[in-house]
Amino acid sequence: MSTPLVAPAGALPADLLVRQARVLDPRAGRDGEADVLVQGGEIAEIGASGALSPSPGTELIEGEGRTLLPAFFDCHVHLRTPGQEHKEDLDTGTRAAAAGGFCGVVAMPNTAPPVDSPELLRSLRETAAAQARVPVGFLAAITRELAGQELTDMAELSDLGALGFTDDGLPVVSAGVLRRAMQYQRLAGGVLALHEEDPALSAGGALHEGPVSALLGVRGVPSLAESTMVARDAALAAYEGARVHIQHVSCAQSLDAVAAAKADGGALTAEVTPHHLLLCEEDVRDLDPRVKTNPPLRGAEDRRALVEALRDGTLDCIATDHAPHAREDKEVPFEQAAMGTTGLETAFAALHTELVLGGALELGTLVERLTAGAAVMGLAMPRLAPGEPANLTLVDLEAEWQVGEEGYESRSENCCFAGRRVTGRVLLTVAGGAVAYRQRQFALSAA
C-alpha cells in the first residue's frame, strides 16, 4: 500500500518560530495570541505569547497583528497533468495552492489521457514527487476513459495510492454502472466523488436556466439536472452502504437531497465552491467567459441557501474546483468557452472578504470548512497542536489587494474574481512540514 498523499521529494523540514500571532484552530478550540514553534517539520510547542525564543538555526517570524491558521486542504482541483500542461502542471498548480494557503490538494483524473490505469497513476505520482510544492493526492477514474461503461481496476488503483474515484467533469449516467462501482468499493475502499448532472436535461446548456438565460437567449441548465442525480445517487448509496461525496453542489434542491440523505444516516459528504458561494446568474449577464462554470452559477436564492448550508454543516467542505484554461479557450464567445475558473489563489481572500467581513460566516467556520476536505478524502485534518506535522498558514486579515494585480502562480489566468478588491492575504504556507510559499513583500520585509 502506498501513502495516499505524495509529498514533494527533497523538501526541507521547516524550523521556525512564529511569535505573537493570533493562533486560530476551530477544531482545537484555540483562538488567542501565542507562539508556535516548528522543528523538523513538526509543531514542537505552542507557548504563551512572547514566551518562546528561537534556538540557533530556527527562523523567527514576527506574527504580531497576523493570524496563524491550520493550512487549507482542497479535495477538488484540476492540475491538467498529463496532457494539458499548457494550462497547468504539478509545479504551477501546487505553487498556486501554496500561495492560497493550502497544504494539500487532490487532483482530478479527467486529464488527457484520463487517470484510469495503474500504470498512469504510478507515473503521475512519480512526477508529483519531483515537481509538486505541496503534498498531492489523486483520485482515479471510476470508468475507463471516463466513458461511463466499464469500471477501472479500482482495487489496484487504490493499492497504488488513489484516494478514491471520480469521473469528474462527467456524471456516471448509468445508475447500473454506478451501483457496481459502489458494490466494488467494499473491496477497493476510497471515496466515490460524484459530478452530478443529467445530460438529458443539461445538454447544450451554458448557464443556469432562469430569467438571465431567457434574456440572453442562451440555453440553460436547470437546477434539477443536478438535484435529480443527487437524489438518485444518495438512494443508491444508502442501499449499497457506499461512501459517496457530492462534488460542487450548486443549488437549493440538491441541498434538500443532501440533507435528507444525511438525516437518514447516510455516509455522504458534499462540497461547495467559492464561486457558487459568492456569485450567481446575475454575474453572468454580460457573458464574461471567465464566469462560465459547470455546474453553472445559479440564482441568488440558491447562493444564499449554499452559504447557509455551509454554515450549518449540510455542506461539509469548500473545494475550489480549480480549473485552469488557456487564454484561447476563454477568449471566445461565452457559449464556445471552456467551463471553469481558477480558484486556489483567491479562495480564502474572496470568501473572507464577502462571507466573514460580510457577516454571514464566522472566521472559525470558514477555516473549518476550508480544511475539512482532508477528512472527506479519509485523511487526517490539518491541526495546530504539538506533535502534529506542520500544516499552517500565516495570513494578514487586513491586507487589501486586487485579484490579478501581481499575476498568478497558476499557469492560467481565468479567474472569475479577477479585478476584485479583496481583504486577507496569505503570507506564508507550511505544507507537510516544509515551507511551500512566502509572499514576496512579506519575505523581503522579514529578511
Partner 1 sequence: MSMRHLLSIEDLDREQIERILARAASFAEVSGRPIKKVPTLRGRLVVNLFYEASTRTRSSFELAAKRLSADVLNFASSGSAVEKGESLKDTVTTLSSYRPDALVVRAPFAGAAALVAGWTPAAVVNAGDGKHEHPTQALLDVYTLTRRLGTLEGRSVWIVGDVLHSRVARSGVLALRRMGAEVTVCGPPTLIPRGIEALGCAVRHDLSDLGEAHVVYALRMQNERMSESFVPSLREYVAHYQINARRLSPRQLLMHPGPVNRGVELSSDVTDSPQALISEQVEAGVVVRMAVLFELLSGAAPEPSGAAAQARPATEPQLA
Site residues (vs partner 1, CB under 8 A): 209-218, 220, 286-287, 328, 331-336
With H, G, I as helix, E, B as strand and everything else as coil, classify residue 200. Answer: helix
What is the smallest separation between the CB atom of 202 and partner 1, expressed in angstroms?
14
Residue type, 419: G
Q: Are 21 and 68 in contact (CB under 8 A)?
A: yes
Our answer to whether residue 321 is catalytic in this structure is yes
Closer to partner 1 by CB, 27 or 86: give it.
86
Residue type, 424: G
Closer to partner 1 by CB, 115 or 297: give it.
297
What is the smallest separation between the CB atom of 212 and partner 1, expressed in angstroms?
8
The DSSP call for residue 418 is T
Closer to partner 1 by CB, 212 or 242: give it.
212
Using CA atoms, how far residue 178 sits from 152, 229, 291, in Å, is 12, 11, 30
Q: Which one is catalytic: 25, 35, 89, 321?
A: 321
Count CA within 13 A, CB hemisphere, residue 288.
17
Closer to partner 1 by CB, 74 or 329: give it.
329
> Which triple of cell numbers denotes residue 376?
472527506
E strand or H helix that includes residue 25? strand 16-25
Residues recorded for the chain: 447
What is the smallest separation between the CB atom of 435 and partner 1, expressed in angstroms?
41
Count CA within 13 A, CB hemisphere, residue 27.
16
Q: How far apart are CA 44 and CA 33, in angstroms?
A: 17
Q: Are 6 and 27 in contact (CB under 8 A)?
A: no
What is the smallest separation between the CB atom of 249 and partner 1, expressed in angstroms?
22
Closer to partner 1 by CB, 217 or 407: give it.
217
Closer to partner 1 by CB, 328 or 405: give it.
328
What is the smallest separation between the CB atom of 303 and partner 1, expressed in angstroms?
17
Q: How far apart are CA 316 and CA 90, in angstroms?
A: 26
What is the smallest separation between the CB atom of 111 and partner 1, expressed in angstroms?
24
Closer to partner 1 by CB, 333 or 358: give it.
333
Backbone angles phi, psi at 91, to 5 degrees: -75, -60
DSSP sequence for 335-385: GGSPP--B-TTTHHHHHIIIIITTTSS-HHHHHHHHHTHHHHTT-PPP--S
What is the smallest separation between the CB atom of 216 and partner 1, expressed in angstroms?
5
DSSP sequence for 83-143: T-TTT--HHHHHHHHHHTTEEEEEE-S-SSS-S-SHHHHHHHHHHHHHH-SS-EEEEEPSB
Catalytic residues: 321
